[in-house]
């Protein structure tokens, strides 16, 4: 775990899923939906991997019709009408999971830490591969934000450079003066570092141990932490 202090930043931005709350809790919550829609969820996973791969192979190119392309890819896998698939996706996933997110709880001290960072003068941002508003007010964090970006509306999922640069523009802050916090080395750390942002990686001790055993590491973040009290100490 990298534990040095971080400095020379004006803004701090966060991923949401797995970063502000434990992603495994969402996984458990949507098991009934997954069982009822196994084919759809498998196709959705494959589709998102294709879209992420585009962001890796061509990080400066946006997809002009992201939501249409996503629906068309899903429709191909499911041998179904793309229009009906898009309607299902919007009604059952994007809107349908809103109540599920309302039942989620953030990581302990996450909101308190971000509140203190805001009070200390840092600009606060969110960049997520799903709509931040899908999580309501993001447990009281969204009202603290100076910018909240959904990479889908930018036409490219992380680790594309595009949503990270859009985040910097929305925060009116140079990339090199932004600290981006995420739980994915491949998407969050790699994408933010590629545009010059400083990076923080929230890691679960068990996951880190398993990754070490199988020799899976990925890019190193400027700082790594396991809880938000620790994170606050590295920044303030």
- Give per-residue pLDDT as tens, 25-47: 999 999 999 999 999 999 999 99
Examine residue 139 and state whether it is found in any structural domain, yes or no: yes
CATH of residue 173:
3.40.50.1000
> ∠ CA 216-218-222 to the nearest 5 degrees?
130
The pLDDT assigned to 83 comes to: 95
Q: Are residues 45 and 119 in the same domain?
A: no
* Mean pLDDT of all residues in 69-87: 96
The pLDDT assigned to 189 comes to: 97
- Give per-residue pLDDT as tens, 196-224: 999 999 987 555 555 555 455 567 899 99
Report how far residue 69's alpha carbon sits from residue 23's, in angstroms, rounded to the nearest whole number: 26
Is residue 79's pLDDT more than 60?
yes
Examine residue 5 and state whether it is found in any structural domain, yes or no: no
> ∠ CA 214-215-216 to the nearest 5 degrees?
95
Examine residue 155 and state whether it is found in any structural domain, yes or no: yes
Could you tell me the residue range of the domain that residue 81 belongs to?
31-96
Examine residue 56 and state whether it is found in any structural domain, yes or no: yes
Examine residue 138 and state whether it is found in any structural domain, yes or no: yes
Which two structure tokens, joined as six digits, stand for 124?
Answer: 């606060």
The pLDDT assigned to 201 comes to: 96
> ∠ CA 49-55-59 to the nearest 5 degrees?
170
């Amino acid at each position: 775990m990298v534990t040095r202090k971080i400095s020379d930043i004006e803004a701090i931005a966060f991923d949401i899923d797995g970063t502000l709350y434990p992603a495994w809790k969402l996984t458990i919550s949507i098991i009934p939906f997954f069982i009822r829609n196994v084919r759809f969820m498998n196709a959705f996973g494959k589709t998102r991997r294709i879209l992420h791969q585009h962001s890796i192979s061509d990080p400066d190119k946006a997809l002009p019709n992201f939501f249409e392309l996503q629906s068309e890819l899903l429709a191909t896998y499911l041998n179904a009408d793309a229009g009906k698939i898009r309607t299902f996706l919007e009604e059952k996933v994007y809107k349908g999971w809103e109540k599920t997110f309302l039942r989620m709880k953030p990581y302990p001290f996450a909101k308190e830490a971000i509140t203190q960072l805001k009070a200390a003068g840092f600009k606060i941002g969110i960049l997520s591969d799903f709509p931040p508003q899908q999580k309501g007010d993001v447990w009281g964090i969204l009202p603290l934000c100076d910018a909240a970006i959904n990479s889908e509306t930018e036409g490219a999922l992380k680790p594309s450079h595009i949503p990270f640069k859009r985040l910097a523009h929305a925060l009116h802050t140079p990339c090199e003066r932004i600290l981006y916090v995420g739980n994915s080395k491949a998407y969050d750390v790699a994408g933010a570092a590629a545009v010059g942002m400083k990076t923080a990686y929230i890691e679960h001790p068990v996951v880190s141990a398993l990754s070490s055993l199988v020799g899976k590491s990925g890019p190193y973040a400027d700082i790594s932490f396991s809880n938000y009290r620790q994170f606050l100490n590295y920044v303030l």
